[in-house]
Structure 1
Amino acid sequence: MDGKDGNPERTAKWLELLCLLRERENAVVLFSGGVDSTLLATAAFLALGDRAAALTFRSPLEDPSEAGRAFSAAERIGIRHVILESEDLEVPEIAGNRPNRCYACRKHRDRLALAWARQQGFASVVDGLTLSDLEEDRPGRKASDEDGIGHPLLEAGLGREEIREISRLLGIDGWDRPGSPCLATRFPFFTSLSEDTLRHVGRAEGGIAELGFTLVRVRFLPGLGAVVETDDPSGVAAQRERVLRILKDEGFPAAYLDLEGYARGKMGRLGATGR
């Protein structure tokens, strides 16, 4: 980091990350465009140059702007970037929003990533799993370990806050952007997912975010409507009419404001895990 970091331990972890990547013949980075995978892609490009590539999946499970954001981030890094359609809703566990959807989704995407990597002559695929992720229930981690996906950030001992700070020091755009879990987490388990319902939730969240909110979740409860959860409930209440118009335009019959504000795992309290 060109001596800009006054934290020797953090600097050592960054250098260890580069060393771990240089030990690989080449690597495909599973690249969402989020903070963790962007730092990993940056490191991979610095360590491996044109022997690194970034692979992004485009899916109804993510807001459509996510793939575009990943494209822009990869362009800034300079790394080769490919976007594949993942067709996630063809997987029954995902389309039915079953409790094992995350595991099934990761297995499905790993198969696609590994097949693409082999076709392109890449020997390894790596993801943005971090030390902080070990504190949470991550079914996808079990799947990725089974599939031989590497975790360089974890191997280097990097946690979420260290990754943000290194990204800031490196001048990486979006280092402070909040995470955006897949849209399936906005629905209770066993609620059938379709491109339409996912699109409505994604557009509603985007519309409310444009009103000036950093973190927005629109939870869909069948038979009730939408529950709006943000980092600023009073701010949402102050813009009640505009928020209601956004939700009604997306077809939600009723809208509710979560007065507690955003909290991870809120759907889990209803027996329907989400983030």
Structure 2
Amino acid sequence: MTNKHKEKYKALLHLLKSFNKVAIAFSGGVDSTFLVAAAREALGENVVAYTVNSPYIPDWEITEAIEWAKQTGVEHEIIKTKIPDNIINNPLNRCYLCKKQIFTLLKSKAKKRNIKYLLEGTNKDDEGDYRPGMKALEELEVISPLREVGLTKAEIRQLSKGLGLPTWDKPAYACLLTRIPYDITITPEELIRIEKGEGYLFQLGFEGARLRSHGNLARIELQQEQFELMNDKNKKETIVKKLKAAGYQFICIDLEGYRMGGRWGNGVMGERKNGEMEKWSGDTH
């Protein structure tokens, strides 16, 4: 841990102490886990972590969040929600609409407990990425302490490692809605299929890979260092077998590899069966 890291962490603790008591949107990812840990150090028992359990959040991520919260003793509440009606067709502004509804709910929960400040884990790097949900956070006056003190993702990982957090090297993740093209109706069955498909990939060593679902075609985005792993004949055969059993007819590897929504603007374009173009819903949070 460098002096620069220590100074930023000190600034973060100072900022958190000024809030006295906080509620934190806690997904179990790298940023929110680090934020909860720092808040616990700064505020002790005056921290409540809220985890949203929705059909588009993988079960394994909820389980990891619950287990870590139990280990640390932080007060933790699971809030079960359905897919909001206004995003059921995966509109272009899905991320904004979803964030607006979820964080309105979290603010209401916090207010009932006389908690004035709701925090979340956006970091400095996110300013340069395509994240339409940030507009909703600003409108609702949700606080992003990591961003405010200028902590980058790499710095958060290093500080997390120094704190002994198990998430320090956890791959970045995004909700399952980002695996489906815009303007396509979302169904629980499709979300389950994608979650299971990515689970198969993770088990075979492709952590952080994405399964983009185009109807009967599964497009797999790998991390750049994972392409060599795909040369293993047994792995390829297992992936094909599992994904075909899940209902996909065609399985392909995207040669560009994994890429976040910030590289796509409003979405990458691909062809539909009818020859029209579809906007792709990339990772935006």
**TM-score between the two structures when normalised by the length of structure 2:** 0.90
| C-alpha distance in 1 between matches for 2:150 and 2:228 | 38
Contact 2:212–2:218 (Cα < 8 Å) also in 1: yes
State which of 15, 19, 23 in structure 2 corresponds to 1:24: 19
Report which stretch shifted further, 27-36 or 231-240.
Answer: 231-240
Aligned-partner residue type, residue 57 of structure 1: V
Select 1:230's aligned residue among 222, 226, 249.
222
Which amino acid in structure 1 is aligned with residue 239 of structure 2? Answer: V
CA distance in 2, matches of 1:264, 1:115: 31
**Can you list the C-alpha shifts for 1:15-42, whole angstroms capped at 9, x where unaligned?**
1111111101310010000010001000
Alignment partner, residue 259 of structure 1: 255
In the alignment, the residues of structure 2 paired with residue 190 and residue 240 of structure 1 have an alpha-carbon distance, to the nearest angstrom, of 31
Distance 2:167 2:99 in 1: 25
Determine the structure 1 residue equivalent to 2:169. Answer: 176
Which residue is equivalent to 2:8?
A: 13
Contact (CA 8 Å) 2:268, 2:282: kept in 1 or not? no
Deviates more, 1:102-111 or 1:228-237: 228-237
Is residue 90 of structure 1 aligned with residue 84 of structure 2? Answer: yes
Amino acid at match of 2:190: T
- Counterpart contact for 1:128–1:152, Cα < 8 Å: yes
Kept in 2, the 8 Å contact 1:45–1:78? The answer is: no
What is the deviation of 1:160?
A: 0.6
Match of 2:102 among 109, 115, 137: 109
Question: Aligned partners of 2:169, 2:249: CA distance in 1, in Å?
Answer: 34
Query: Would you identify which runs of 4 or more consecutive aligned residues in structure 1 move more than 3 Å?
Result: none
1:39-54 correspondence runs (5 A): 39-54=34-49
Q: Which runs of 5+ in 1 are unaligned?
A: none
C-alpha displacement of 1:237: 4.6
Shift of 1:243: 0.2
How far did 1:255 drift?
A: 1.3
Q: Distance in 1 between matches of 2:181 and 2:143?
A: 31
Deviation readout 1:117-173 (Å, 9 max, x if unpaired): 112221110000111100112111110111010111111111110000000011111
Alignment of 1:190 onto 2:183: yes
**3-state DSSP of counterpart to 2:92:** coil
Contact residue 45 and residue 77 of structure 1 kept, 8 A = no
**Percent identity among equivalent residues?**
33
In structure 2, what is the equivalent of residue 269 of structure 1? 268
CA distance in structure 2 between the partners assigned to 1:237 and 1:190 by the alignment: 35
Q: What amino acid maps onto 2:256 in structure 1?
A: E
Task: Output the amino acid matched with 2:152.
Answer: G
Contact map agreement 1:54 1:79 (CA 8 A) in 2? yes
Q: Secondary structure at the match of 2:243?
A: helix
Q: Is the Cα contact below 8 Å between 1:233 and 1:258 reproduced in 2?
A: no
Q: Distance in 1 between matches of 2:8 and 2:85?
A: 38
Q: What SS does structure 1 have at the residue aligned with 2:259? A: coil
Q: Do structure 1's residue 250 and structure 2's residue 246 form an aligned pair?
A: yes
- 1:100 maps to a residue whose letter is N
Deviates more, 1:255-264 or 1:107-116: 255-264
Q: Distance in 2 between matches of 1:273 and 1:213?
A: 21
**Conservation of the 8 A alpha-carbon contact between 2:55 and 2:191:** yes
Task: Give 1:82 deviation, angstroms.
Answer: 0.6
Question: SS at 2:112's partner residue?
Answer: helix
1:128 counterpart = 2:127? no
Question: In structure 1, what is the equivalent of residue 275 of structure 2?
Answer: none
Aligned-partner Cα distance in 2 for 1:8–1:18: 15
SS of residue paired to 2:174: coil
Match of 2:54 in 1: 59
Q: How many residues align?
A: 267
Distance 1:25 1:53 in 2: 12
Deviation of the 1:261 alpha carbon: 2.2
Q: CA deviation at 1:193?
A: 0.6
TM-superposed deviation, 1:217:
0.8
